Amino acid sequence: MGELDGRVAIVTGASRGIGAAIAEAFGAAGARIAATARTLEEGTNRLPGTLRDTVGRIRDAGGTAEAFAADLSVPDDRARLVSQVLDRFGRVDILVNNAAVTYFTPVADFSPRRMALMFDVQVNAPTHLAQLVIPGMRERGQGWILNISSVAARHPSIPPDRLAGLGATVYGMCKAALERLTTGLAAELYADNIAVNSLAPTQVVPTPGTLFHGLTTENDPNAEPPEVMAAAALALCREPASKVTGLIAYSQDPLP
């Protein structure tokens, strides 16, 4: 028996990197996976990895997975996503908010359009998706919401480090808001046995996105494989809320 047998998990941003690793780990643990991203095939940014790739790997390993294309910056797409997952699987037990649109630009040069898009995908979408799945979780008396964060949520040091020099302020604002959403929701849903946690990598993960932005290299000896985040995510989504909720965790915290 798998640790997540019988559960249905929505994993956003599942085309590649951390999202794909979490979807595959949860699928291997027995969950039925609703993998979502903006497109089924390669998007305009041409980063390697697609939803079809992720779903194919889960199925090849004997798991159950479906791909759902949704632009999470659009409220109607978010509502349609959850509706389609409920039509296909009948329930949502786990929500992993991993999707992100990220621009590294100093605040003085940040365009309003890009800032709005980042907040729509990284803050408004997780909030709205939680609102959509909470009623069903309450009805069943349990649920798990996991928000993927970053060390960028921490206040920068002065003098600033390299990350601040890359223009990570708006990215950090989004992740800080997501962490505050995590603790607030955990408090609101404590009596409903719904676990709400935040999880960030302990070290930078060499994903197509971090490589593209120059945050790490493929041979970085300090980098953390995405499988570490996947294992930590599984650890947080298999325990009841009475044991793990309201955590602002880093990937190596939940692991033995």
Active site residues: 149, 171, 175
Which residue type is seen at 233? A
| Alpha helix positions (H), 151-241 | 162-165, 169-188, 208-212, 226-236
DSSP string across 116-161:
HHHHIIIIIHHHHHHHHHHHHHHHHT-EEEEEE--GGGSPPPSS--
What sign results for the dihedral spanned by CA atoms 83, 85, 90, 93? negative
Compute the radius of gyration of the chain from its Cα atoms. 17
In what order do the strands lie in the sheet containing 64-69?
64-69, 32-37, 8-12, 94-97, 143-148, 194-200, 248-250
